Structure 1
Amino acid sequence: MLRRKFLLCAALFLFLFYGTAVPLWAQEAATTGIDLNAEAAVLMEAHGGKVLWAKNPDKELPMASVTKIMTLLLAVEAVEQGKASLEERVVASENAWEMGGSQIYLEPGEEFSLKEMLIAVAVGSANDASVAVAEHLMGSEEAFVEAMNRRVQEMGLKHTRFANCTGLPAKGHYTSAYDMAVILREALKYPLFRQLSSIYEYDLRGGKFKLWNTNKLLKWYQGVDAGKTGWTTEAKYCLASSAERDGLRLIAVVLGVPEPRGHFRESIKLYNYGFARYRAVNLLPAGAVVASLPVEKGVPPEVEVVTAERVAVVVPRGEERGFTTTYELPPRLKAPLAQHQAVGYCVVQKGGQEVHRVPLLAGREVKRASFLQQVNRVLNRVYGPGR
């Protein structure tokens, strides 16, 4: 009887702690043997967002200036959506001037283009420039922070909350390694973000003020082209970065590294692991034309269908063969259509199982034909052109 009770208790214990509810990536992370001092870390492949390695991925931690990835994301989206221009002037307020920590020493009333302010944020980690950008885009830092948190909710992230746009210590300001990897993955979709965060040095104020990128992996590790560092006494050393080699893009996030430059060494360990063990199978480039569909009552009467992004899957080395693509598309579309409107999916399969899907988009705008244009088309079909 005692033996039976012991076995039942043991079985219950194993179920609770090692049962099927444990995510696959967590099981993998427990057996990889990577030794990191970071409080939390994630290695993610950027193509599909799969986590390849993790340590405490959902632990809520301060992230210091890594915060500015979200600040830059909102600014880049505003430019992409036509709500802001890189050439427009940004005027520093007294509130921006009062920011401490890393800064470009803005004076109240001093002006820079939005592009130069964003370079100061991305390269110099300037807190004063971050606040100036936030106030310029949303009217106040408080309104900008509300937009940051709304964006987090839209992305479905559960372990991130922003209290400011700089990363300066504040109550209720935290993220997780997984959440920050997702935020960086979203930012990487914008070429402007990659352009800004890949700048290693920049001359401001006509060469009187030199900016050096705090992300030293831009020079120290082949393929690194984006990211943001962070440090405070509370957050310790943090880094969210991305590297690409042979078509494989990885995202590495390390939070709470205790020793100086440790966030670089820890990230390199993650990259070495990822590039050694995984490969990208690139099936179609971004913007590839996969079909041409008729558009009912459309001008023009048909439209090319293109891939929204590169169609690729990341697999362990040696498992690169056997992938196929199919297209989920209707036989025809209806006008009007906006350029880049989603119209279907490219589905990647292996062994009859779906492993990835990428949206398919209308390659151009298609307007609805006027009444006279529709009548003329009917007459042409009946009598032929020129009658």
Structure 2
Amino acid sequence: MKKLLATLSIVFGLVSTPVSAAPSLIPTPPQLSASSYILMDAYTGDVLVSHNADEALPPASLTKLMTAYIIEYELARGNLSFSDQVSVSEKAWRMEGSRMFIREGTRVSLEDLMRGIIIQSGNDASVAAAEYVAGSESAFADLMNQHAQLLGMKNSHFVNATGFPAEGHYSSAHDLAKLSRATILQFPENYKMYAEKEFKYNNIKQPNRNKLLWRDKTVDGLKTGHTEEAGYCLAASAVRNGTRLITVVMGTKSDQARATESQKLLDYGFRYYETRKLYSRGQVVNNAKVWGGSQSNVKVGFAEDVLVTIPRQQGDSLPATLDMTKEITAPIAVGDILGKVIVGTDGNILLEQPVVALEAVEEGGFFKRMFDKIRLFFAKLF
């Protein structure tokens, strides 16, 4: 690789002023009264605060985040529809704990079941949906574990769709944050359900147990959980001024405590950090030389928006360098990786992002290829 630019941010308009010389002053994160917790930037996946975040713990009804995720996954692929009518089994009807009060032998729309899972935390709704998707709750649990593996949830194993206490049923704050992030980014339309404050079914109106939905207008999800073993848990997300954060707090002592402790993390994160967009999808950052091609140059840029999480006191600019492949030869396909951008300093690299071909370049004719080979030979000599 070859370093082409030492001040990419100035050349390509990432920012227009030098990096502030003042250091970033960020206080120690709050210490929460919880067994485990994490604060994550939803857009970048960066972890800002964590405590025992990879410890495997009983997740209680935070399990239903995975139950809902799988339903959303199948909806997105056209395998399910919200209008599907789901038969309620005796097992679903007999479920104890939090319920949406569906009746055995009746048929309930999948959309109502989703609200029952997300808003009312219904164990009966979760089992009915699991049986509909996979044929049985145990088969659905297998599906949950497959999705967990795909999402990189390394400290999770699911035995049921509800979070009802069971041997070998566990997850971690970090894993549940990853799952929450996937839900938010992959299914933004369905995510709106997580902000609904109440749901009425069978003439019974029940409120969402997430107290932050009433206390903080920037909060729009996600899910509560509680068992004697797990304590009081909460996965929450909020968005302020273009920055979205996710918190997962596990093992607090009360409904009030899980909301209060989660609010502490959110307020800390929004006060001291921000998500900044550095480059846009398709933005050209270089017009690179191509050897042996039908054209002499190729536009190089980004396949997706490039975002970074930084302290708010970082200053108005970020140093960036562009490393390009020394010899780029045709043919080139759209999306071929041709180098990378490194944002930050040697002692504090914030991210490395591939730069790709934004256009295809076919091989040139015989004489063009031979001519470029000769030119490249002499270029290497000197």
TM-score by length of 2: 0.73
User: 2:234 corresponds to which residue?
Assistant: 239
- 8 Å CA contact 1:72–1:193 kept in 2: the answer is no
CA distance in 2, matches of 1:197, 1:271: 17
Partner of residue 147 from structure 2, selected from 147, 151, 157: 151
User: 2:165 corresponds to which residue?
Assistant: 169
CA distance in 2, matches of 1:209, 1:232: 23
Counting only pairs closer than 5 Å after superposition, residues 103-182 of structure 1 correspond to structure 2 as 103-182=99-178
Partner of residue 210 from structure 2, selected from 212, 215, 224: 215
User: 2:180 corresponds to which residue?
Assistant: 184
- 1:324 deviates by 5.4
User: 2:343 corresponds to which residue?
Assistant: 349
Closer, same or farther: CA 248–33 of 1 in aligned 2, 3 Å: closer
Closer, same or farther: CA 91–198 of 1 in aligned 2, 3 Å: same
CA distance in 1, matches of 2:306, 2:236: 22
Residue 43 of structure 1: SS of its match in structure 2? strand
89-98 vs 123-132, which deviates more? Answer: 89-98
Structure 1 unaligned regions, length at least 5:
1-30, 292-304, 364-387
Cα deviation digits, residues 200-256 of structure 1 (max 9, x gap): 123334xx2223211121121231112100011111100011111111111111100
Closer, same or farther: CA 258–184 of 1 in aligned 2, 3 Å: same
User: 1:40 corresponds to which residue?
Assistant: 36
CA distance in 1, matches of 2:76, 2:355: 20
User: 2:15 corresponds to which residue?
Assistant: none
- 8 Å CA contact 1:61–1:176 kept in 2: the answer is yes
- 8 Å CA contact 1:307–1:346 kept in 2: the answer is no
Residue 228 of structure 1: SS of its match in structure 2? strand
RCO higher in structure (CA 8 A, sep ≥6) = 2
- 8 Å CA contact 1:41–1:56 kept in 2: the answer is yes
CA distance in 2, matches of 1:361, 1:201: 46
- 1:143 deviates by 0.8
Partner of residue 54 from structure 1, selected from 26, 29, 50: 50
CA distance in 2, matches of 1:105, 1:359: 51
CA distance in 2, matches of 1:355, 1:141: 43
TM-score by length of 1: 0.72
CA distance in 1, matches of 2:181, 2:228: 27
User: 1:373 corresponds to which residue?
Assistant: none
Counting only pairs closer than 5 Å after superposition, residues 73-112 of structure 1 correspond to structure 2 as 73-112=69-108
Q: Structure 1: which amino acid aligns with 2:74?
A: A
- 8 Å CA contact 2:279–2:302 kept in 1: the answer is no
Partner of residue 196 from structure 2, selected from 194, 199, 214: 199
Q: What is the identity percentage for the equivalent residue pairs of Structure 1 and Structure 2?
A: 36
Matched, 1:315 2:302: no
Cα deviation digits, residues 178-210 of structure 1 (max 9, x gap): 1111111111111134212111123334xx222
Residue 261 of structure 1: SS of its match in structure 2? helix
Q: Structure 2: which amino acid aligns with 1:92?
A: V
| Alignment size in residue pairs | 316
Residue 38 of structure 1: SS of its match in structure 2? coil
CA distance in 1, matches of 2:161, 2:324: 41
Closer, same or farther: CA 87–236 of 1 in aligned 2, 3 Å: same
User: 2:259 corresponds to which residue?
Assistant: 264
Residue 314 of structure 2: SS of its match in structure 1? coil
261-270 vs 276-285, which deviates more? Answer: 276-285
- 8 Å CA contact 2:341–2:355 kept in 1: the answer is no
CA distance in 1, matches of 2:331, 2:340: 16
